[in-house]
Amino acid sequence: MASPAIRFDRLGQVFDTRSGRTEALRDVSFEVARHEFVAILGPSGCGKSTLLRLIAGLLRPTSGSVEVFGLRVGEPRDDIGIVFQKPTLLPWATVEDNVDFPARHKRGRVSPEERERAAALLRMVGLEGFAKRLPDELSGGMQQRVGIARALLMDPDILLMDEPFSALDALTREVMGFDLLRIFAERPKTVVFITHSVSEAALLADRVLVMTGRPGSVLTDVVVPVGRPRGPETANEKAIHDLSAYLRSFLLQKAA
Amino acid sequence: MSLRATLTSFALASSLIAAPALAADKVIFQLDWLPGGDKAPIYVCIHDGFCRDAGLNVTIASGRGSTDAISRLAAGSADVGVADIGALLAAKANENVKVTAIFSEFNKGPHALYVIKSGRIGSMADLKGKTIATSPFTSSNFYLPLVLKDKGVESSDVKLIKAEPGSLGPMLMAGNVDGIVAWMTDLTRYRNQGKEAGKEIVVLPWSAAGLELYSASLIANDDFLAKRPEVAKRFVEAYKKSIEFAKAEPAKAAAAVKAIVAEISTEDVEGSLNDTLPLIFNEVTDKDGLGVFEPARLAETWRRVSAAQSIDPAKFDPEKAVTRHFIPAK
Amino acid sequence: MTSVPTYAASSSKRQPKAMTDPVAGASPFFRRLATAPGMATLGSLIAVVILWELTARIFAIPSYLLPTPSSVIQSFSSIGYDRWFVHVWATLRVAMIGYALSIVIAIPLAILMLRSPFLSRTLYPLLVVVQSTPVVAVAPIIIVSLGAGDAPRVVITCLITFFPLVVSTATGLAATPPELIELSRSLRAPAWREITQIRLPFAVPYIFSALKISITLAVIGAVVAEFCASEAGVGYFIQFSTSMFRLPQAWAGLIVLAAMSLALFQLVLFAQKSLFPWSLPKKD
């Protein structure tokens, strides 16, 4: 039996800040299977982003452990890609240079294969023909697509997405969600996707973890009872509606 | 011109340039301020050949006040220069700087009060209850209380305003103040300013009010004097000749300054030089000779300087600040 | 395609008869001249100069208070171009060397301060002390210890231009989006590449705003240094002219100085526009 892609075991995280100790996460345990899409839903400040930074190896746990493919996370790994809330592109670099930036940054050069893969990724995210443009010339949605292409350049097994669509308008956000479904149908990945949008979580994910804080902990873990492939029509399915309604009322109850 | 004549003149010209250049001793001359008519002798020395004839190759460095000039001479960045002997005496008394006065140029202080004719001040004794302006850093400020005291005026009875040197003239012309403290060397320039404003300017020299002082003197670095005494001797001789030339031919002396300092106007230089000459040639010069440090007058200078700077007069012997070894015999 | 530029170029001719156009009746040359960029500025400048000349003459303001523009212009030519060249070159040389030295020291120092919080804590107060020390107060020691030549003036210029460069560069290096720093760490890239590929480029707008401040400070620095010690330079020339009570001549020096500052500022702006166009503030 292969080990899960990600495994949190009774993880606790405490930060020492100027105003004292803050307990960000307490007793967090869950697993994410390979090629599973898990959405993490919760209010602001419940430590969702901390979870991602722990997986990425940018942070050491205070207690408990995080494993990726059966190995304890000690330092950043090569097989993880990150998409941030804001696109955070390099404003001086063209779109294609932004996409192959991870290679240039890690090794100081970009191989011909990586350059080809960057072009293919740009096609996949619908930005062919924009390769020579600067980020400023692109809309917010297009910039975030560049961010997604950049995260996929090194062909990671795991993709961490930290509220990637929260800065976009509602319509663009929906379109981006469906594009994401298409991309992962083409190229399955293990995805941890943080969001505060209940419907986005229900529509995109295989499983939804609901967190609350502080300290953040997993309250409930719900499987989305809808198969794949999914598309725009999926949004109208009753199961999605019911799940969204359930999650929304659950969150409201907890918030009250 | 024939070929032979050309060659001859060429040979003559090159020998004129080359011969002294081979033997010329390099000397850096430090001014205590920017170029001007009051500094004409050193320009005469260079431009009219007195320095060259003495086998000297002199370059001029401008300064920013006597203290600045003395510290640069002490640091060895210049060999010999001109600065106020009062500043030298104070510097020697406070911290034994390695420089010595070798020749007296002004045997009267240039300090004066400028007033407008038909104004409320006719002499220094009239200053009680008046407002006068001075520049913040001039050495005249030290002597002002002494002159006032001599004339029976309390310093506290005179309102003293400090202002940037360039604004003193305008303040006087505009009637903001009753008088301004400035140097005799600027007499022509203030008179011209007065003309433009339709006012007549009167100057009250403090030497006439009883302030007996040596002032601008040639001051040299002690190392220079010890290692190149012959050069120093030749320089002082050439400088003395230049002063005498400036007295005899003020227009040519002004032209010498203009030739080296292109930014200057000849009339300004000539005016300033004519204002300066009475500080060099006067009844004291007639009695003692040019360049001489007469012991009694030197002692009197130190008495005034020490009083002005609040230094114990017994702390220092002014004879230690001068050497008469380099003054040319008559 | 060829017809498009022609049309665009003639767009101003589309309403030549419009009564609202103040220069409608003028010949095309004058019309173009009047609408050329900078013409309004130049026009108002000329108007101010004429007004100034008239005021000075009508009220007979003495030249030692306010010289007339004509006397200032006259003193330009009476000095001689070779002397102007000597003064401008002396000031320009000191300003540029001091400025360059300042950049060469400030940027690596800002990087060092970013890498070492200890250095940052110890250097910042020191920099503030240096910045708040009036250079004139320390000028004598600098001049006496560095001797004749450009060295003391270059050091004084460097001292004056240094502070904004260090502070701005350090701020810019620290203002990089934290996400990109996390990206860099997650890639396990060498630390120096984080500086060269992320932090320094992100600091470019900050560095350039400091470069623009510092270039005018460099001219001021060179002038202050010339006030303390020099035999040439525009600052020396101004000081010298003031000491001779030649105010028109001093004003001519001031105008040359202002022109130098403006030209150097535009040069820095041009460098930014052509080398880092993305770093300029957005127009909209």
* Local confidence band at C149 (pLDDT 50, 70, 90 cut-offs): confident
Q: Do C188 and A76 touch (CB under 8 A)?
A: yes
Q: Which two tokens stand for residue A79?
A: 């097989």
The pLDDT value given to residue A246: 93
Q: Do B196 and C62 touch (CB under 8 A)?
A: yes
> Of A46, A77, A61, which Cα lies nearest the Cα of A194?
A46
Chains touching A by CB (3 or more pairs below 8 Å): C
More confident residue, A79 or C147: A79
Q: Which two tokens stand for residue A34?
A: 């390979």
Q: Which residues of C are less than 8 Å from A102 in CB distance? A: 183, 187
Contact B246, B152 (CB under 8 A): no
Query: pLDDT digit string (tens) for B36-90?
Result: 999 999 999 999 999 999 999 999 999 988 988 999 999 999 999 999 999 999 9
CA atoms within 13 A on the CB side of B94: 12
CA A50 to chain CA mean position, Å: 12
CA distance B258 to chain C (A): 12
Chains touching C by CB (3 or more pairs below 8 Å): A, B
Contact B298, B214 (CB under 8 A): yes
The pLDDT value given to residue C64: 82
- Do chains A and B have 3 or more beta-carbon pairs under 8 angstroms? no
B62 in a domain, yes or no?
yes
Q: Which two tokens stand for residue B246?
A: 């400036």
Q: Which residues of A are less than 8 Å from C188 in CB distance? A: 75-76, 78, 106
Q: How far is CA C24 from CA A187, C12, C38, C196, in A?
A: 66, 10, 19, 55
Domain boundary residue among B141, B174, B205? B205
Q: Which two tokens stand for residue B282?
A: 């006067």
| Residues C46, C50, C51, C52, Cα dihedral to 10° | 100
Start-to-end C-alpha separation, chain A: 42
| Residues B283, B284, B286, B287, Cα dihedral to 10° | 120
Both B17 and B35 in one domain: the answer is: yes
The domain locations on chain C are: 20-61, 71-279
What does the radius of gyration of chain A's CA atoms come to, in whole angstroms? 18
Pairing of strands B25-30, A71-72: unpaired
Contact C184, A108 (CB under 8 A): no
Residue type, B66: S
Render the burial of C121-147: b for 16+ CB within 10 Å, e for the rest: eebeeebeeeeeeebeeebbebbbebe
CA atoms within 13 A on the CB side of A174: 8
Query: Which residues, 6 or more positions from C124, have their beta carbon under 8 angstroms from its beta carbon?
Result: C113
Nearest residue of chain A to residue C178 (CA atoms) = A88
Above 60 in pLDDT, residue C18?
Answer: no
Q: Which two tokens stand for residue A232?
A: 């725009």
* Local confidence band at B207 (pLDDT 50, 70, 90 cut-offs): very high
3-state SS of B178-202? CEEEEEHHHHHHHHHHHHHHCCCEE
Domain of residue B121, residue span: 111-205
Query: pLDDT digit string (tens) for A114-135?
Result: 999 999 999 989 998 999 999 9
% chain B with pLDDT above 90: 76
B148 in a domain, yes or no?
yes
Handedness of CA B193, B195, B198, B202 (dihedral sign): positive
More confident residue, C26 or B142: B142
Contact A190, A151 (CB under 8 A): no
Q: Do A105 and C282 touch (CB under 8 A)?
A: no
Query: pLDDT digit string (tens) for B214-243?
Result: 999 999 999 999 999 999 999 999 999 999
Q: Which residues of B are less than 8 Å from C80 in CB distance? A: 262
Q: Which residues of C are less than 8 Å from A58 in CB distance? A: 182, 185-186
Q: Which two tokens stand for residue A251?
A: 């969150």
Both B104 and B219 in one domain: the answer is: yes
Above 60 in pLDDT, residue C263?
Answer: yes
Contact B201, B191 (CB under 8 A): yes
CA distance A150 to B1: 86
More confident residue, C41 or A95: A95
Residue A119: exposure state from Cβ atoms within 10 A (0-12, 13-18, ≥19)? middle
Contact C124, C109 (CB under 8 A): no
Helices C81-115 and C151-174 meet at what angle, rounded to 10? Answer: 40
Query: pLDDT digit string (tens) for C221-260?
Result: 999 999 888 889 999 999 999 888 888 999 999 999 999 9
Residue type, B36: G
Q: Do B169 and C64 touch (CB under 8 A)?
A: yes
Structural domain total, chain B: 2
Above 60 in pLDDT, residue B5?
Answer: no
Averaged pLDDT for residues A223-249: 90
Query: pLDDT digit string (tens) for B232-289?
Result: 999 999 999 999 999 999 999 999 999 999 889 898 999 999 999 999 999 999 999 9
Contact A172, A203 (CB under 8 A): no
Q: Which two tokens stand for residue A155?
A: 């062909």
B328 in a domain, yes or no?
no
CA distance A183 to A168: 19
* Local confidence band at C25 (pLDDT 50, 70, 90 cut-offs): low
> 10 Å Cβ neighbour count for C207?
26
Domain boundary residue among B205, B225, B255? B205
> Of B213, B189, B239, which Cα lies nearest the Cα of B84?
B213
3-state SS of A125-149? CCCCCCCCCCHHHCCHHHHHHHHHH
The domain locations on chain A are: 1-80+198-256, 82-155
Contact B278, B185 (CB under 8 A): no
Q: Which two tokens stand for residue C277?
A: 């166009």
ipTM of the complex: 0.90
Handedness of CA B45, B46, B51, B52 (dihedral sign): negative
Contact B81, B33 (CB under 8 A): no
CATH number of the structural domain spanning residue B80? 3.40.190.10
Both B56 and B9 in one domain: the answer is: yes
Pairing of strands B111-116, B201-205: antiparallel
Residue type, C65: L
Angle at A115 between CA A114 and CA A117, to 5 degrees: 60
For residue B203, what is the enclosing H or E element? strand B201-205
Both B118 and B98 in one domain: the answer is: no
CA distance C13 to C32: 11
The reply to whether A164 touches chain C by the CB within 8 Å rule is no
Both B246 and B315 in one domain: the answer is: yes
User: Does CATH place domain C71-279 in 1.10.3720.10?
Assistant: yes
More confident residue, A3 or C100: C100
Averaged pLDDT for residues A235-247: 92
Contact B313, B306 (CB under 8 A): yes
**Weakest mean pLDDT among A15-19, A207-211, B46-50:** A15-19
Chain A residues 67-86 with a CB less than 8 Å from chain C: 75-76, 78, 80, 82, 84-86
What are C's interface residues with A at a Cβ cutoff of 8 A?
Answer: 177, 179-180, 182-189, 193, 197-198, 201, 204, 276, 278-279, 282
Domain boundary residue among B160, B180, B205? B205
Both B99 and B239 in one domain: the answer is: yes
Classify residue B322 by its DSSP letter: B
The pLDDT value given to residue C5: 39
Q: Which two tokens stand for residue B11?
A: 């040979």
B322 strand-pairing partners? B101
Both B117 and B97 in one domain: the answer is: no
B162 in a domain, yes or no?
yes
Q: What is the mean pLDDT of chain A?
A: 91
Q: Which residues of C are less than 8 Å from A88 in CB distance? A: 177, 179-180, 183
Q: Which residues of C are less than 8 Å from B196 in CB distance? A: 62-64
Averaged pLDDT for residues B90-115: 94
The pLDDT value given to residue B22: 55
Name which of C183, C195, C272, C284 to mutate to probe chain A: the one with the most chain A Cβ atoms within 10 A of its Cβ.
C183
Chains touching B by CB (3 or more pairs below 8 Å): C
Q: How far is CA C282 from CA A136, A169, B127, B167, C277, in A?
A: 9, 22, 66, 47, 10
Contact B61, B28 (CB under 8 A): yes
CA distance C119 to B183: 52
Query: pLDDT digit string (tens) for C160-216?
Result: 999 999 999 999 999 999 999 999 999 999 999 999 999 999 999 999 999 999 999
Query: Which residues, 6 or more positions from C279, have their beta carbon under 8 angstroms from its beta carbon?
Result: A91, A92, C204, C205, C208, C272
Q: Do C198 and A105 touch (CB under 8 A)?
A: yes
Pairing of strands B111-116, B179-183: antiparallel
User: Does CATH place domain A1-80+198-256 in 3.40.50.300?
Assistant: yes
Residue type, C254: L
Helices B85-94 and B295-308 meet at what angle, rounded to 10? Answer: 70
Residue the block writes with tokens 């900050």: C206
The pLDDT value given to residue B224: 97
CA distance B166 to chain C (A): 6
CA distance C241 to chain B (A): 8
Q: E strands along B35-175, which residues?
A: 56-61, 80-84, 99-104, 111-116, 131-134, 159-162
CA atoms within 13 A on the CB side of A16: 1
